[in-house]
């Protein structure tokens, strides 16, 4: 028998709850790998505050080299009160920017899912929000955060929103290709009624759509309307394509929909190696107690599998998370009323058990 494909994962647990939640994601990967005929290695490397304490830098060269040579990077979270007074390159979070740069990632993927089982935990009305499944595709390396000229002038300050056609095209491809694997709909967000750079954004996205993705439905929304629609009727969205600034704000707005930060995964892709991490931080208030919600990290591992082309395994992981919630398991952040909360590790084990099962034929696409 042929040896199974083996993927090398650089595992960066980081600080606070990072080690706890990434451990559960690896447990689930382990279960799903053996059921889908591939294997992986997960070598642990220092990152963030843990790396600062040991080596004096939040992103040591050894970690950089290992990430660049890996097939994918799984990160927990970095930072915490111990390093809050650090400045500049001694801040744990500065290591994150260096990591993204080292990998050359330019597309940030942020799925926002509100399973029907958790709709009552949302700050919005359950009937409005249950079943929401949005994928934000945000451009990560251009736009107003990096445009020049910028800085103070004699009598004020300026920041410049800049996008080249090539930058818009490559992120548009990411959005259309994701939509092809989902529900075939892209909403591109801009401010083309005011900003010239948004006029170009709209032109280029429309051209890419017409020339290469006639099977995907495209619509354009102004960012102010998009913000209102995300709150009013989030179920209308499939893939939302945005530049850096608008994506930053809209994806955080949408992150409030599920009612817990612990549920949200993310991926940064497009470079040599992808980076997969939950949206939340290191949650020092609950670290070390085995109570954190591992779902965001487990779903980040599903995005990792998608990126490696292991789509069936990725769907199995998403399905296992849904099935575990449907079976009534809740971590403390999700338990309402008299629901009993289970630990991080119990939840992870429950998902791992279900991830090894075949996905039922009639299961809805998660
Ligand atoms: P946070 O996301 O760590 O926590 C905010 C709140 O959400 C806390 O009450 C926390 O207990 C809760 N929470 C977060 N994740 C959870 C989970 N998986 N399960 C259950 N509850 C969860 O944000 P913060 O408190 O503003 O930041 C804490 C530290 O994390 C800071 O040092 C910050 O700089 C850092 N941070 C790191 C990242 C990252 O590594 N990508 C992102 C954001 C913040």
DSSP-assigned states of every residue in 83-95: GTT--GGGSTTHH
Q: What is the pLDDT of residue 121?
A: 86
Four-CA torsion 255, 260, 263, 264, nearest 10 degrees: 20
Active site residue 213: no
Query: Do residues 132 and 235 lie in contact, with contact meaning Cβ atoms separated by under 8 Å?
Result: yes
| Distance (Å, whole) CA 306 – CA 362 | 21
Instruction: Provide the pLDDT for residue 120.
Output: 87
Of the candidates 161, 321, 183, the residue with the CA atom closest to the CA atom of residue 239: 183
55, two tokens: 């080596």
CATH number for the segment(s) 133-256: 3.40.718.10
For a mutational test of ligand 1's pocket, the pick from 78, 279, 283, 347, i.e. the residue with the most ligand atoms closer than 8 A to its C-beta, is: 283
Q: Taking the complete model, does pTM exceed 0.75, yes or no?
A: yes
Specify the pLDDT at position 2: 64
Q: How far apart are CA 87 and CA 91, in angstroms?
A: 5
Residue of 145, 222, 290, 357 with catalytic role: 145
CA nearest ligand 1 atom 30, residue: 281
How many Cα atoms within 13 Å fall on the side-chain side of residue 64? 14
Is the distance from the beta carbon of residue 261 to the nearest atom of ligand 1 less than 6 Å?
A: yes
Quote the pLDDT of residue 15.
98
Instruction: Quote the tokens at residue 270.
Output: 């497009």
Ligand 1 pocket check for 283: Cβ under 6 Å: yes
Rounded Cα distance, 299 and 321, in Å: 8
3-state helix vs strand vs coil in the chain, percent to 5: 45, 20, 35
Ligand 1 pocket test target in 280, 299, 301, 344 with most atoms within 8 Å of CB: 280
Low-confidence ranges of the chain (pLDDT < 50): 364-366
Alpha helices, DSSP H only, in the chain?
A: 18-35, 49-55, 61-69, 94-103, 126-129, 165-181, 196-212, 223-232, 244-255, 295-307, 311-326, 344-355
Inter-axis angle of helices 344-355 and 18-35, to 10 degrees? 10
Among residues 191, 213, 306, 315, the one annotated as catalytic is 191
Condensed to tens digits (0 to 9), the pLDDT of residues 39-54 reads 999 999 999 999 999 9
Model pLDDT for residues 240-250, shown as the tens digit of each residue: 999 999 999 99
DSSP 259: S
Minimum CA distance residue for ligand 1 atom 11: 283
* Burial (CB count <10 Å: 0-12, 13-18, 19+), residue 132: buried
Q: Is 264's C-beta closer than 6 angstroms to any atom of ligand 1? A: no
Q: Structurally, what CATH architecture does the domain formed by 1-111+262-366 represent?
A: 3-Layer(aba) Sandwich (3.40)
Q: Which of the 8 DSSP states describes residue 236?
A: G
Contact residues for 203 (Cβ-Cβ < 8 A; gap 6+): none
pLDDT in tens, 268-308: 999 999 999 999 999 999 999 999 999 999 999 999 999 99
Distance of CA 206 to CAs 113, 183, 234, 342, Å?
27, 19, 23, 48
Residue with the smallest CA separation from ligand 1 atom 44 is 281
- Of 263, 271, 226, 269, the closest CA to residue 247 belongs to 226
**For residue 365, what pLDDT is reported?**
45
Q: Among this protein's residues, is 306 annotated catalytic? A: no
Nearest CA owner, ligand 1 atom 42? 281
Q: Is 252 marked active-site?
A: yes
Measured in Å, residue 206 CA sits from the centre of ligand 1 at 38
Give dist(CA 112, CA 69) in Å, integer. 30
Residues 246-284, buried b or exposed e (16+ Cβ, 10 A)? bbbebbeebbebbbbbbbbbbbbbbbebbbbbbbbbbbb
Based on the residue annotation, tell me whether 248 is a catalytic residue of this protein: yes
Dist. CA 17 → ligand 1 center (Å): 9
Q: Is residue 263 lining ligand 1, measured as CB closer than 6 Å? A: no
- Looking at the chain, which residues constitute the CATH 3.40.718.10 domain(s)? 1-111+262-366, 133-256
Tell me how far apart the alpha carbons of residues 364 and 172 are, in angstroms, rounded to a whole number.
27
- Predicted confidence at residue 361, as pLDDT, reads 59
Pocket flag, ligand 1, residue 340 (CB < 6 Å): no
């Amino acid at each position: 028998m042929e040896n199974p494909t083996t993927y090398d994962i650089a595992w960066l647990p980081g600080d606070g709850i990072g080690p706890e939640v990434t451990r559960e994601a690896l447990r689930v990967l382990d279960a799903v790998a053996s059921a889908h005929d591939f294997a992986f290695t997960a070598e642990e490397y220092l990152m963030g505050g843990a790396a600062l304490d040991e080596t004096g830098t939040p992103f040591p060269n050894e970690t950089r080299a290992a990430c660049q040579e890996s097939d994918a990077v799984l990160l927990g979270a970095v930072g915490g009160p111990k390093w809050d007074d650090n400045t500049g390159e001694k801040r744990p979070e500065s290591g994150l920017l260096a990591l993204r740069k080292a990998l050359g990632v330019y597309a940030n993927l942020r799925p926002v899912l509100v399973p029907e089982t958790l709709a009552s935990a949302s700050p919005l009305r359950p009937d409005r929000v249950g079943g929401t499944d949005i994928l934000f595709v945000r451009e990560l390396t251009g736009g107003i955060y990096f445009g020049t000229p910028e800085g103070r002038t004699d009598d004020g300050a300026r920041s410049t929103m800049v996008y080249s056609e090539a930058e818009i095209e490559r992120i548009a491809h990411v959005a259309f290709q994701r939509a092809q694997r989902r529900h075939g709909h892209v909403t591109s967000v801009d401010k083309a009624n005011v900003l010239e750079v948004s006029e170009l954004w709209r032109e280029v996205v429309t051209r890419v759509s017409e020339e290469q993705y006639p099977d995907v439905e495209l619509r354009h929304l102004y960012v102010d309307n998009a913000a209102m629609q995300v709150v009013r009727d989030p179920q209308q969205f499939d893939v939302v394509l945005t530049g850096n600034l608008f994506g930053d704000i809209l994806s955080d707005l949408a992150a409030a929909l599920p009612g817990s930060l612990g549920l949200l995964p993310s991926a940064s892709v497009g470079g040599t190696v992808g980076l997969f991490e939950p949206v939340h931080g290191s949650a020092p208030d609950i670290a070390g107690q085995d109570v954190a919600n591992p779902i965001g990290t487990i779903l980040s591992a599903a995005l990792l599998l998608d990126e490696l082309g292991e789509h069936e395994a990725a769907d199995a992981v998403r399905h296992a998370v849904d099935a575990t919630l449907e079976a009534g398991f809740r971590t403390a952040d999700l338990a309402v009323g008299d629901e009993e909360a289970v630990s991080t590790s119990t939840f992870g084990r429950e998902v791992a058990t279900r991830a090894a099962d075949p996905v039922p034929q009639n299961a809805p696409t998660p």
